[in-house]
Structure 1
Amino acid sequence: MTTPGNPDLIIVGAGIVGLAHAYEAHRRGMKVMVLERDERAVGASVRNFGHVCTTGQSGQGLEYAREARERWLGLSDPAGFAVVQQGTVVVARTSDELAVLEEFADVRGRDEATPLSLAQVEQRIGWLPPGTVGGAHLPLDLRVDPRAAVPALAAWLQSQGVEIRFGVNAGQIADGTVLTSVGTFEAPLIIHCVGHDVDRLFPTIAEKYQIRRCRLQMFEVAPPVAEPIGPAVLTGTSLLRYGGFTGMPSAEQVRAAFTNDQPELLEIGLNLMLTQRPDGSVVLGDSHHYERTNPPFDDESVASILLREGERLFGRPITVRKRWRGVYASSNLTDFLVEPVDARTHVVSVTSGIGMTTALGLAPAALDRILG
């Protein structure tokens, strides 16, 4: 499909990473086309908590997350999606977990992590989880509904002149040419942003960075408490997943306690956390298992552990309304993959499960690198 109106940039993938790069390229005055194999985004970008977990990141991830936070806020009104600015409450249920939060607050400062008493935890989230000994409020974190925000961002980009073609599957990409299910597209630059499917077209790059697919079990449950839950809620297992917390001196004591008392939580990679959707339902998760090719069968024992821990957190039974398998790209070698295929083709993927948190901040840095 070579025409006088060929784009300056073709992006393959209309998830949050692809849309973030489309937005940044459009800001720079580039003519952008996005090709998406499905009729809408149905992958990791809509199967997540909608938690923009800015504060918990570290290093480069924290830099990207801070930039992404400002962009989420700036895009909310023009693109027409809501951003909830009630932060995150981290619930501590042991003295070691509380020590991590106190250490974190000392490092980051009270404007990023405010210690909470029991009464303040209950006031913030609407109930007091049994066994709570304290907590912390991370006021900079944001929350969006990914099922609404991602389509809204795509529609707004289209209204601004970005061409997005849904239902177009890319089968081969090289040297400025994309061979698809509906024809051939050409551009001076192509960026492949298809998350965990790097190996489908670029197995050498996937092998180089040891890309695996992380599969997650997640639930949507009926509201367990009457009061609205404004912030995202993290727990002790979350302190073992985010770099900002794992770097604290007491984090190893937290890990040791889980190893001794609840090793099954570590075996399934549990990050017990939740967010509330606009209709009141609660997204609860999540487990983590890593393989290049995941089996098609989910182990019900994993779901049972997640539901048990969810009920312990709420102190009451919960009712599952929906369940699904999340998936994202994972690499032990890099959190952010930006890799050339040839002079006109690059692969970009968030390989750490924090695409919603960082993609809008990664995009300007990635384009700077790609464009030289």
Structure 2
Amino acid sequence: MGAGIVGLAHAAEAVARGLRVCVLERDDRAVGASIRNFGHIATTVQDGAALEYARVARERWLRLGTSGGFLVAEAGTVVVARSAAQMGVLEEFAAARGVDQVRLLDRPGLARLFPPACADGVSAEVVGGAHLPLDLRVDPRSALPALAAWLVGEGVEIRWGTHVGTVEDGLLLSSRGELRAERIVHAVGHDADRLFPGIAQEYGLRRCRLRMLEVAPPSDVRIDPAVLSGLSMLRYGGLAATPSAAAVRRDFEESAPELVDVAMNLMLTQRPDGSIVLGDTHHYARTHLPFDDEDITGLVLREGGRLLGAPLTVRRRWVGVYADAPATDFLVAAPYPGVRVVSVTSGIGMTTAFGLAPVVLDGLL
């Protein structure tokens, strides 16, 4: 149940195994974390189990893009380095992963993939960068509906606008009646605590609230890859594990502590219409107040303007929310023998869900 990317990934895996599948989704379409994100399939920068899942998911995305008729761009990711310490992270990462995964870039090479790197006021700050060619991009606002439609064509029943109030072994009670099933996957992201508060408490489940913007592209620039920054080196396991990452953190704590305070991951992707999705900051609580602090938006715009080399015009703004659990990136719990509560608790559901789903179903079946 749940028609976000984690729920649909489990549905796709179940169909591939020849199972009969029904998805229950409380809204009339996916409106949560799965369409509010960057559409960045950030395979390379993961570490540990997340990297294993991401590698499997990458191949699945490519196949599903062809089957489902939506674009999966193989433009990779560019990481921009603005200091010797940040370049040190990339050099260490390249040494660990190899040239097929991490290609170091000098300033001219970076500018070819990310033209704003040579803009006035930006180029003086840029030391170099790296290209991660294996990473993918999708437009989540079109990919998720296309994926759901493809699943329906494969025989999956999706019951939109159906709220589930009770989950037991072999039984769901919903706003549209009961549904009996031999196996149930409860994939509702940060709302796992609604029906399973004990599991949520055990894992320390909370909600991560993100500040996200869509801005006009300066000078109609075209940026094919996703773009990460030095702040990204503090958030992704593969980059954060390098020896130089500690020096990068110290630099930010000394020069821009306000960015560390809001846990900013300065990054961007460009949508098909040219708009740039820019963000993001991270704020953690079980229950958030509904009010937005415009000062935080100002920080995102300030740093985004530095990265893109121009003042930015906001076209849309929104709040993203995803599940977070300090102890794990992947919450998988079994409240009953035939039920699994599943949530990607690290903001990398788009990157890992198609790799996680086979592991969950192996255990459930």
- Shorter-chain TM range is over 0.9
- Give the distance between the partners of 1:235 and 1:124, measured in 2 at CA: 14
Q: Is the 8 A contact 1:126 1:225 kept in 2?
A: no
Q: Normalization by structure 1: what TM-score?
A: 0.96
Q: How far apart are residue 289 of structure 1 and its match?
A: 0.3
Question: How far did residue 226 of structure 1 move?
Answer: 3.0
> 1:295 is matched with which residue: 289, 299, 309?
289
- Note if contact 1:275-1:282 (Cα within 8 Å) is conserved in structure 2: yes
Q: Offset of 1:189 from its aligned partner?
A: 1.0
**Which among 348, 351, 355 is matched to residue 354 of structure 1?**
348
Please say if 1:220 is aligned against 2:214: yes
CA contact (8 A) 1:127 1:225 kept: no
Please show how residues 228-243 of structure 1 align to structure 2 within 5 Å.
228-243=222-237
Does residue 1:92 correspond to 2:81, yes or no? Answer: yes
1:154-176 Cα deviation digits (max 9, x unpaired):
00000110111100000111121
2:301 matched residue in structure 1: 307
1:206 to 186, 200, 203: 200
Tell me the equivalent position of 2:151.
157
1:109 to 79, 94, 98: 98
1:177 aligned to which of 152, 171, 174: 171
The count of residues paired between Structure 1 and Structure 2 equals: 360
* 1:49 aligned residue (38, 53, 63): 38
Tell me the CA shift for residue 298 of structure 1: 1.1
Which has the higher mean CA deviation after the structures are superposed, 220-229 or 93-102?
220-229
The answer to whether structure 1 residue 340 and structure 2 residue 329 are counterparts is no
Give the superposition deviation at 1:65. Answer: 0.2
Deviates more, 1:177-186 or 1:274-283: 177-186
Q: Which moved further from structure 2: 199-208 or 312-321?
A: 312-321
Q: Match for residue 3 of structure 1?
A: none
**Cα offset, 1:337, TM superposition:** 1.0
Q: Distance in 2 between matches of 1:225 and 1:92?
A: 23
For residues 206 and 114 of structure 2, what CA distance do their matches in structure 1 show? 35
Judge conservation of contact 1:196–1:212 (CA < 8 Å) in 2.
yes
One-letter identity of the residue aligned with 2:55: R
1:127 to partner: Cα distance: 2.2
- Could you tell me whether the CA contact under 8 Å between 2:80 and 2:129 is conserved in 1? yes
SS in 2 for 1:287: strand
Q: What CA distance in whole angstroms lies between the structure 2 residues aligned with 1:254 and 1:247? A: 12
Higher deviation after alignment, 146-155 or 173-182: 173-182
Which ranges of structure 2 fall in alignment gaps of 5 or more residues?
none
How far 1:266 sits from its partner (Å)?
0.6
Q: Secondary structure at the match of 2:287?
A: coil
Hey, what does 1:330 align to over in structure 2?
Answer: 324
How far does residue 314 in structure 1 lie from its aligned partner after superposition? 1.3
Measured after TM superposition, the shift of residue 96 of structure 1 is 0.4
Which of 122, 129, 133 is equivalent to 1:135?
129
Q: Counterparts of 2:342 and 2:310 in 1: how far apart (Å)?
A: 43
Q: How big is the shift at 1:338?
A: 1.0
Structural mapping, 1:16-95, within 5 Å: 16-95=5-84
Aligned ranges 1:244-255 → 2 under 5 Å: 244-255=238-249
User: Helix, strand or coil for the counterpart of 1:127?
Assistant: helix
Partner of 2:251: 257
Match of 1:271 in 2: 265
1:167 and 2:156 aligned: no
RMSD: 0.7
Poorly superposed stretches of 4+, deviation over 3 Å: none
SS in 2 for 1:82: coil
C-alpha distance in 2 between matches for 1:70 and 1:159: 21
Q: Secondary structure at the match of 1:286?
A: strand
Describe the SS at the equivalent of 2:101.
coil
The CA distance in 2 between the partners of 1:225 and 1:348, in whole Å, is: 43
1:286 aligns with 2:286: no
Could you tell me which residue of structure 2 aligns to residue 9 of structure 1?
Answer: none
